[in-house]
Structure 1
Amino acid sequence: MSENNPTSQKLLNYTPDDIKSYLNKFRKCIIEKRYSIAKKVNRKENMDFIEDYKIDTKKEQEILLALQFDDFCYAVKNNNRDFPHEVLYIFCKQHELDFWGTLENVDIY
């Protein structure tokens, strides 16, 4: 996850095949453990989410590998000045997670 501006214009002109192709590359990175989840101070919500739902590396990978093309919402251009060429793909996946002993269906973005 990178810094992005929530006012960025949504990019919606992707076909199911475009998203499937992206997900194939994405899954390869997950399997090869070539990914990270931002856990810096400006991503406190990520750290809180991981702690609240007791998400370890195995669960991270399970959630990420479960993404399907129809979980795609939209994309935005990366406004992080270090990565202006990147496009950030936004997905929403509902997953059952353990919240301190209670199973909840949670929308994960």
Structure 2
Amino acid sequence: MTARTWLRPAWLLSRRVGIVLLWILVAAGIFVVVSVAGIHVIGSVDGWEHWLRAHATHFLVWRLLLYGATAYGWWWMRGRLRQREPSGEAHQRLLRVEIAAVITIVLLEGSQLLRHA
């Protein structure tokens, strides 16, 4: 995209952007509903926070399973992409995305670890 394309609001109104924004809103709504329901069931915000801390290991296992499933899907997609685009440039792009993803996951999990330490 050129700088001029970013200045036009037409890309904001595209179908793809609308679908992504809708999914983000749905996910945020689900998170809010689960948190409010958890607070209501537990009885207080402090109780909810205590419950979350007590079950942090379960959430870590859940995140690790999600990371594993995502890595498997990425490996499958990567193979297909490498067959379709065998150039060195495509390989470099994939490598940059993979490095960025691993750094992001390490930083996120590190921040969780530091918060609970």
Report the structure number with the largest CA radius of gyration: 2
Same fold (TM over 0.5): no
TM-score, normalised with respect to structure 2? 0.30
TM-score (norm 1): 0.31
